[in-house]
Amino acid sequence: MQEVVVLGVGMHRFGKTGDDIVGTKSVKALCHEAVVGALKDAGVAWKQIEAVAAASSRFSGGKGWGLNGNDVVEDLGSTGIPVYNMSAGCAAGGNAFNVGYSMVAGGVYDMMLVVGGEVMPKGMIQTSGVEEATDPEFLRQRCIGMPGPSFWSTLARRRMFEYGTTEEQFSQVAVKARKCSVHNPNARFQKEITVEDVMASPYVSNPLRLFQICPVSNGAAAAIICSAEKAKQFTSKPVTVATSTVATMTFDDALPRALADPIPSTPSLHTEAQNAVKTAFEKSGIGPQDVSFTELQDNTCYYELAFPEEWGLCEAGQSESLLLAGETAPTGRMPINPSGGFVSFGEATTAMGVFQIAELTWQLRGQAGGRQVPDAKVGLAQTLGLGGNATAAILKR
């Protein structure tokens, strides 16, 4: 196995359909800026890229088939290189990164591009509209009337029951996130807010309010990865990929996402995310105590409180006190989402896993400006996608 490094990263600022900076651009145009930025950052030319791993979805262009990587290749230059289009819902970007990592680590290629970009339809993400009676996603959203925010609200309500979490504490997560995003030029929201602002925003699904969940966004991110040996030609201080993992949910998952799932004897939520992160720790030899900061998927503020506990970054029921003490801020002892997270960017589904790789890289290089985690040495990234998909990656310097 070859050691793999991140040589260069790029991103297009996130925004909504209709705004002046992002909303008039196609997926191809968003990805173009991200890829050109990553190539420049890496100091390499397009002709040096040997293959492309692209995150794709039904939203991401690609001739209507999600062939996002093929659009990128046609745009940058049809050099005949292999393209791998990966689809895993909101975990697609992390999945594409894993494919690129695995191929470079296995010696199939020495240098690859990983890219994800999305132009999202307005409103909350819905099912594809396929009326399949055996599809639990269709049944949950169309028959029960329970789209994403309602699903997240049940998790939030459960935490309130188990740990006494308050709506104000969920609001504090959003306040902290926006304080970070003020210093992130790629974030959609770059203005600080107060607890009062969050509490004044309307309920989307009680107890979650508008500012406590991430909207859909348009955006793109890209990363150039290569073998450590190849990287010596370009840099003396590479960011190393300690590992990249992919996992799916297991039988003891307590979330109602499959019609034949048994009822577990003990609560176990989002086993796919737990499996991905646990495997990443095992494969890298890096433990929770070694992580300098984490970029996790915060579709809602609930996840920023729950996930660190589930992965062993802190004790169960401890997240609220750490948050209020400032320990999850960039200068705290357990920084979570110093980028501002999904709550500040909005979700361009297939871009998010690559967005996290870019953010980890800038932090580990010390290039994160006002959101910089002091002396960051190890970064953890995690995504979660439709169908019980999840990914994790650990980068180090």
Packing angle of the helix pair 301-310, 271-284 (nearest 10 deg): 50
- pLDDT higher than threshold 80 for residue 262: no
pLDDT at 266: 55
pLDDT band at 121 (very low <50, low <70, confident <90, very high): confident
Residue 306 exposed, middle or buried by CB count within 10 Å (0-12, 13-18, 19+): buried
pLDDT at 21: 67
Q: For residues 14-33, give the mean pLDDT.
A: 83
Residue 141: the pLDDT is: 63
3-state secondary structure the chain: CCCEEEEEEEEEEEECCCCCCCCCCCHHHHHHHHHHHHHHHHCCCHHHCCEEEEECCCCCCHHHHHCHHHHHHHHHCCCCCCEEEECECECHHHHHHHHHHHHHHCCCCCEEEEEEEECCCCCCCCCCCCCCCCCHHHHHHHHCCCCHHHHHHHHHHHHHHHHCCCHHHHHHHHHHHHHHHCCCCCCCCCCCCCHHHHHHCCEEECCEEHHHECCECEEEEEEEEEEHHHHCCCCCCCEEEEEEEEEECCCCCCCCCCCCCCCCCCCCCCHHHHHHHHHHHHHHCCCHHHCCEEECCCCEHHHHHHHHHHCCCCCCCCHHHHHHCCCCCCCCCCCECCCCHHHHHCECHHHHHHHHHHHHHHHHHCCCHHHCCCCCCEEEEEEEECCCEEEEEEEEC
From 14, 29, 37, select the one nearest 188 (Cα to Cα).
Answer: 14
Lowest-pLDDT choice from 6-20, 114-128, 292-306: 114-128
Rounded Cα gap, residues 382 and 304, in angstroms: 12
pLDDT band at 10 (very low <50, low <70, confident <90, very high): very high
Whether residue 242 has pLDDT greater than 50? yes
Q: Compare 113 and 61 and report the one with higher pLDDT.
A: 113
Give the per-residue pLDDT at 151.
80
301-310 and 148-163 helices, crossing angle to 10°: 60
For residue 364 the two structure tokens come to: 């580990």
pLDDT in tens, 151-199: 889 899 999 999 999 999 999 999 999 999 999 999 999 999 999 999 9
Query: What confidence category does residue 259 fall into, taking pLDDT thresholds of 50, 70 and 90?
Result: very low
Among the ranges given (148-152, 167-171, 292-296), the one the predictor scored with the smallest mean pLDDT:
148-152
pTM of the model: 0.93
C-alpha–C-alpha distance, residues 94 and 281, integer Å: 16
Give residue 126's pLDDT. 59
For the chain, percent of residues with pLDDT exceeding 90 = 76
Residue 146: pLDDT band with limits 50, 70, 90: low
* Token reading at 296: 């996790």
**Residue 298 contacts residue 170 (beta carbons within 8 Å):** no
Asked whether the CA dihedral 281, 303, 188, 22 is positive or negative, the reply is: positive
Backbone angles phi, psi at 10, to 5 degrees: -150, 155
User: What is the residue type of 123?
Assistant: G
- Does a cis peptide bond (omega within 30 degrees of 0) precede residue 202? no
Instruction: Answer whether residue 260 shows pLDDT above 50.
Output: no
Q: Out of 32-36, 70-74, 123-127, pick the least confident.
A: 123-127
pLDDT given for residue 135 in this prediction: 67
Averaged confidence pLDDT in the chain = 91
CA angle in degrees (0–180, nearest 5) for 253-277-60 = 85
- pLDDT single digits (tens) 83-98: 999 999 899 999 999 9
Q: What pLDDT does residue 148 have?
A: 75
Tell me which of 215 and 35 has the higher pLDDT: 35
- In order of start, what are the domains of the chain with their CATH numbers? 4-123+213-396 (3.40.47.10), 146-212 (no CATH)
**Residues 234, 238, 243, 248: what is their CA dihedral angle, to the nearest 10 degrees?**
-80
Half-sphere exposure of 121 (CA within 13 A, CB side): 10
Residue 57: band (very low, low, confident or very high) from pLDDT cuts 50, 70, 90 = confident
Alpha carbon separation from 159 to 156, 171, 177, 179, 305 (Å, rounded): 5, 14, 20, 24, 9
- Reply yes or no on whether the pLDDT at 392 is more than 70: yes
Checking if the pLDDT of 212 tops 90, the result is yes
